[in-house]
Amino acid sequence: MLGFVNILVAGIAYGFVLFLMAGGLSITLGLMNFANMAHAAFAMVGGYAAALLIAKVGVPFIPAVIAAAVIAALVGASFERVLFHRFYRAPELEQVLMTIGVVYVAIAAATYLVGPEQIAISVPAWLEGNIRLGVVEINSYRAFLILVGLALLAGVVGLIEHTTFGAKIRAAVANRRMTASCGVDVDRLYAAAFALGSALAGLGGALSVKLVGLDPYFPIKFLTDLLIVVSVGGLGSLGGTFLAAVLFGAVDVVGKYLLPEAGGFILYATALIVLTVRPQGLAGRRQ
Amino acid sequence: MTVVDIALARQAIRERARWRSLEIAFWVAAACSYFVFPTHLVLLTQIIISGLFAMSLDLLLGYGGIPSFGHAAFFGLGAYAAGLLAAHGWGEPLSGLLVGGAVAGATGLLFSIVIARVHGAAMLMVTMCVGLLVYEAASRMPWLTGGDTGLQGIDMWPVLGRFEFDLFGKTAFWYAYAIAFALYLAARLYVGSPEGLALEGMRENPVRIASLAISSAKRKMIAFTLSATVAGLAGALLAQTTQIVALETLSFDRSVSTLIMLVVGGLGSLIGGFLGAALFVWLRDILSALNPVYWMFWLGLILIGMMLSARGGLVGAVAILSRRIRAMTGTAT
C-alpha cells in the first residue's frame, strides 16, 4: 500500500513535469488558437540553455533556469515576429505543417550545435536526496517541481483571468478586429503572449531535463504527449491543462506499474475516450 | 431549362473525370523508370507504395477536408495482417493483400463512428490518439508482431502462381505498380461518383449539404473506411514486397511524413500524393545518405518555404506553369 502511494506520488510529480511544459502550449495553442507543434522545440531551447549555462559557464541552478526561460522567450518572440504571425489566420493544417518544419530544423540545429548525445543537468545539493512527509517519502527535486508547478498555475491563471493583459488577450482571441478598434495593439499583444508561452516552455524544459533527459529528438518525443494534455484538458483553459497533466502523469506511471505489459495503451485509450465523449476537453470553453 | 441544366451538369462531371496530362505523365514515367533505373527498383517500389498511401489520405483530407494525424495506424494494420498471414503459412499475394485491406478497412469503420462525431482541431487529436493507440498495442504484443525486431519469416508465393518474387525486386515493382494503378482507377471512380461529389460538397459547405438531405456523418464514415482500406492495401503491399514488417509502419513519424508528401504533392488531385511521394522518398534517399541531419534540416526548410509561398503543392505549381505557357503562346481557349 505504501509502495502504491509512493508510485502515485511519482506519477503526480511526472504530471507536474508535463504541466510545466504544457502550460505554455495551453497559451499558444489553447488560448491563441495557433496550432503550435514547435512548442517542445522551445522547451528544448530552455533545456539546453540551462544545462549548458550550468556546465560550461558555471551559473548556479536557479539563475540558469530563469535565464533559460528568458532565452526561450526571446527565441519564441523572434520566431513569432518573423514567421508565425503570418499564419494566425491561415488554415490549421498550414500552421501544423509550418511548425513541424520548424521542429525538423530545430532537431537538425541542435544536433549540429550541441551533438546527438543525451545530456544531463546538475542540480544543487539541496535538491538532491529525499524528504519525508509523514509516511510518504518524496524526492526533493520532485517536491520542488510540484511547488514550482503550483506557483506557476496560480501566477498564470491570475495573469490571464485577473489582469488587463489577460483580458486583452481573451478579447483579441474572441474578436480581433473589435479589440484592435478599441485601441489595443493586437500584434504586440500576440507577440507578448507568444513570448510568455515560450518562456513557460523554456522554464518547463529546463526543469524537466533532470527527470526526462534531453537530446535533439526532444521536440518530437514530447510533442504528442503535450498535445494530448492540452486538448484533453480543454483548449483555452489552464486549469484544465493542469488537471489533464496530473491525471496523465498519474495514469501513465500507475498504469505502467500495475500493468507493465499494457505500456502507454491505457493512457491513449483514456485520452481517446475523453476526446470522444467531450471533444472540447475536460474544461473546454467552446465546442 | 432543366434539360440545359442537366446537360451542363453532365458536362461538368465529364470535365472532372477527364484524364489530365500530369496523371498520364506520372504513370508513364513510373513505368519507364523501371528501364531507366534498373538498379533502384527497391526505391521505386517504395515510392509507388508511399504514393498509394498518400493517395488514401488524399481521399480523406483532399476531398473530405478531414485531416488525419494517425493514418499510419491503418497502413501498419494492413502490413501486419498481410505479413502475419504469410508468416503463418499462407503466402498467396492477392488474397493476402485483400486480407490486409479488409482488416484495415474494418478497423477504419470502427473508428469512423468516433471520427464522425468530432470536427476541427479535435479531429487531429482523435486521429493522433488512434495512431498512438495502435502503435502501443503492436509494440506491447511482441509474441504476435515481433515487437522492436519486426515481423520476420514472411514467405511469399509467386504472384498469380507464375511470377516469383526475385532478389532484384522486378516482380515486386510490377506487382506494386499494377495494384497501385488499379486502386488509382478505383479512387478516380469514387471521386467522380455522386458519393465523392457529396463528400466534396460537405467539405465546401456542410450546412448546405445537410439541407439537401445528405448525411454528413455517413459521408465521413464511408470516406474514412475507404481511405483506411486503401491505406491497409498499401501497407500490405509493403509487407509483401519487403517481406518484413517493422513497428515504424505504425509510427507517428510515418503519419506525419505521409501528410507532408501529400501536401507537397498537392491536395485533392489524387495524383498529388504520388508526385509528393516521389520527391520526398527520392530526396530522403539522397540526403539521408549524406547525413540524416541534413535531411531533417532541408525537409523543415522546404516545409516552411512551401507554407509561406505556393499553395497547392507540385500539382498547383504545374497548373500555374501550364497556364502561363498557354497564355504566352496564345493558345488559351
Paired with A133 in beta bridges are A136
Which residues in chain A have Cβ-Cβ distances shorter than 8 Å to B118?
275-276, 279
Contact of B25 with chain A, judged by CB distance below 8 Å, is answered with no
Cβ-defined contact of A83 to B304 (cutoff 8 Å): yes
- Gap from A227 CA to chain B (nearest CA, Å): 7
More confident residue, B15 or A190: A190
Distance CA A76, CA A83 (A): 10
Q: Which one of A104, A173, A218 makes the best mutation probe of the B interface by having the most chain B beta carbons within 10 Å?
A: A104
For chains A and B, CB pairs below 8 A equal 115
For chain B, the farthest-separated pair of C-alpha atoms sits apart, in whole angstroms, at: 67
Contact of A34 with chain B, judged by CB distance below 8 Å, is answered with no
Contact of B126 with chain A, judged by CB distance below 8 Å, is answered with yes
- pLDDT tens for A237-263 read 888 999 999 999 988 888 888 887 777
In the block, cell 477536408 appears at B65
Cβ-defined contact of A100 to B256 (cutoff 8 Å): yes
pLDDT, residue B333, reads 44
Distance CA A119, CA B204 (A): 49
Does residue B310 carry a pLDDT above 70?
Answer: no
Does residue B116 carry a pLDDT above 70?
Answer: yes
Q: Which residue of B has its CA nearest to A271?
A: B129
Distance CA B263, CA B268 (A): 9
The torsion angles phi and psi of B165, rounded to 5 degrees, stand at -70, 125
Q: pTM for the full model?
A: 0.91
Cβ-defined contact of B302 to A231 (cutoff 8 Å): no
- pLDDT tens for B200-242 read 888 888 888 888 888 888 888 999 999 999 999 999 999 999 9
Helix ranges restricted to H, A114-185: 140-162, 164-174, 176-181
Cα-based distances in Å from B298 to B256, B273, B284: 16, 20, 10
B4 pLDDT band (50/70/90 cuts)? low
Cα-based distances in Å from A192 to A21, A189, B170, B318: 18, 5, 58, 40
Which residues in chain B have Cβ-Cβ distances shorter than 8 Å to A109?
297
Cβ-defined contacts of A60-69 (< 8 Å, 24+) = A60/A124, A61/A122, A61/A123, A61/A124, A61/A127, A64/A206, A65/A203, A65/A206, A65/A207, A68/A202, A68/A203, A68/A205, A68/A206, A69/A199, A69/A200, A69/A202, A69/A203, A69/A206
Contact of B121 with chain A, judged by CB distance below 8 Å, is answered with yes
Distance CA B123, CA B144 (A): 30
- Gap from A178 CA to chain B (nearest CA, Å): 24
More confident residue, B187 or B156: B187
The torsion angles phi and psi of A261, rounded to 5 degrees, stand at -75, -15
Contact of B132 with chain A, judged by CB distance below 8 Å, is answered with yes
Contacts of A132 (CB under 8 A, 6+ apart): A138
Which residues in chain A have Cβ-Cβ distances shorter than 8 Å to B303?
97-98, 100-101, 104
- Gap from A140 CA to chain B (nearest CA, Å): 32
Distance CA B139, CA A121 (A): 31
Identity of the residue in B130, B253, B306 whose CB atom sits nearest the CB atom of A272: B130
pLDDT, residue A287, reads 45
User: With a CB-CB cutoff of 8 Å, which residues 189-248 of chain B face chain A?
Assistant: none
Task: Choose among A80, A21, A285, A42: nearest CA to A173.
Answer: A285
Contact of B67 with chain A, judged by CB distance below 8 Å, is answered with yes
Residue B3: how many CB atoms within 10 A of its CB?
Answer: 7
Q: Which one of B112, B125, B291, B299 makes the best mutation probe of the A interface by having the most chain A beta carbons within 10 Å?
A: B125
The torsion angles phi and psi of B21, rounded to 5 degrees, stand at -60, -30
Q: Taking chain A (287 residues) in consecutive chunks of 10 residues, what is each chunk's mean pLDDT?
A: 79 89 88 89 95 91 94 95 89 90 94 88 83 78 90 91 89 87 90 93 92 90 91 86 91 84 83 86 69
Identity of the residue in B125, B128, B303 whose CB atom sits nearest the CB atom of A98: B303
Are the beta carbons of B111 and A264 closer than 8 angstroms? Answer: no
Contact of A271 with chain B, judged by CB distance below 8 Å, is answered with yes
Are the beta carbons of B220 and B81 closer than 8 angstroms? Answer: no
Contact of A62 with chain B, judged by CB distance below 8 Å, is answered with no
DSSP A136: E
Contact of A96 with chain B, judged by CB distance below 8 Å, is answered with yes
B331 pLDDT band (50/70/90 cuts)? low
Contact of A94 with chain B, judged by CB distance below 8 Å, is answered with yes
Q: Which residue of A has its CA nearest to B132?
A: A268
Cβ-defined contact of B303 to A100 (cutoff 8 Å): yes
Q: What is the predicted ipTM?
A: 0.87
Q: What integer best gives the mean pLDDT of chain B? A: 88
